[in-house]
Amino acid sequence: MKNILLCLSLLYSLAAFGQDNKFKFGVLINPNLSGNFLSNDGSVPSVVSNLFDDLEDQTLGYYGYLFTQYPINSRFKIQAGIGYSNSGYAGKKKKVEFGQSEPGQPEYARFFYKHHDIMLPVLLRYNISRRPNKFYLIGGVTPQIKISRITTAKLWYPSGEITTSKSDDNGTGFRKVNANGTIGIGYDMKLSGKLNLFVQPTFDCNLLGTSRSASLNRRIYTIGLNLGLIFA
């Protein structure tokens, strides 16, 4: 918590320090589709790896953060921020098979695996043109600090009842710190003298597997749309 407060204080200090109006302050939200790339270190048979891959699916996620932006020159800007990320993946809805069927047992089940993280994006933006309303490219690295890993079970019963239950996953050796590679292309539109709106399709993906040592490891990715405002 001390590190989070320190980062927030630094961002606000940078924005306040910009008396020459070079520093700008911004905020964004990114609704996205989140999934994972499964990797095998070679110790797991490919048929098992392919089975896991076939059983997993994308899920809805989102992230949002505050950032400061500083122009290096007429084309390049650097920005850094702090925020929250909700990503992960889901299992596909599957029929539950029991050795012996009993009353009250669920008929179908689906599991959702959510990753909750603090994100600290450090990105470089390149303006493709010098026009006031301009397209740009953006990319960089987004360190992530683990908050929690939550598994949600959704069960369907023959009676039509649907139940959900959540549990904190603490026993699978997740990394406490990871980093995303982040790339995007956006359009920046001036709304007024001191306010810009931007729209930015963005792709993020873990640079390291989510587990420290699993033979079958996952790199979480998101494909989404950044929607945000920049204040002069």
Q: For 79-124, what is each residue's pLDDT tens digit?
A: 999 999 999 999 999 988 766 667 778 999 999 999 999 999 999 9
Label residue 15 by pLDDT band (50, 70, 90).
very low
Q: Are 94 and 110 in contact (CB under 8 A)?
A: yes
* Single-letter amino acid, residue 31: P
**Distance between CA atoms of residues 21 and 19, nearest Å:** 5
Which residues 6+ apart lie within 8 Å of 202 measured at CB? 30, 32, 138, 182, 183, 184, 222, 223, 224, 225, 226
Q: Phi and psi of 129, rounded to 5°?
A: -135, 170
Q: For 68-79, what is each residue's pLDDT tens digit?
A: 999 999 899 999
Task: Examine the pLDDT at 16 and tell me if it is beyond 60.
Answer: no
Higher pLDDT, 133 or 209: 209
Question: pTM (2 decimals)?
Answer: 0.84
Looking at residue 22, its pLDDT comes to 84
- Among 138, 150, 45, smallest CA distance to 87 is for 150
Ordered domains of the chain (ranges, CATH): 2-81+117-143+177-231 (2.40.160)
Name the 3-class secondary structure at 28: strand
Label residue 18 by pLDDT band (50, 70, 90).
very low
